[in-house]
Amino acid sequence: AEAGIRGYRYETWYGIFAVSALPQALVQWLNAAVNRVLVDPAVMGKLTESGIEPGTETPAASQKFFVEDVARWRRLIRDTGIRAE
């Protein structure tokens, strides 16, 4: 919006990615471990102090978010004619 592009906003987000061949059991274990850390009050406090809003998600929800975010930025690039220099 600040750049004059209606309907677009920029948010920084963080994720953990792994190879697609990673066994699903390991994906679930890693997700549970990360989510346990993210809800720890001490960790939440440090992240919040740094301006980060911690949140937890399932692997499926994270993948859906990522795919939608890539599509959103792809549309912005197409619609505005942005080119790498």
Per-domain boundaries in the chain: 1-85
Encoding tokens for residue 27? 């994906």
Cα distance between residue 7 and residue 26, in whole Å: 38
Q: What is the pLDDT of residues 7-28, one digit of tens each?
A: 777 788 899 999 999 999 999 9
In the block, tokens 């080119």 appear at 83
| pTM, full prediction | 0.76
The pLDDT assigned to 10 comes to 79
Whether 15 contacts 38, CB under 8 Å:
no
Encoding tokens for residue 74? 């792809």
Cα distance between residue 55 and residue 8, in whole Å: 22
Whether 35 contacts 28, CB under 8 Å:
no
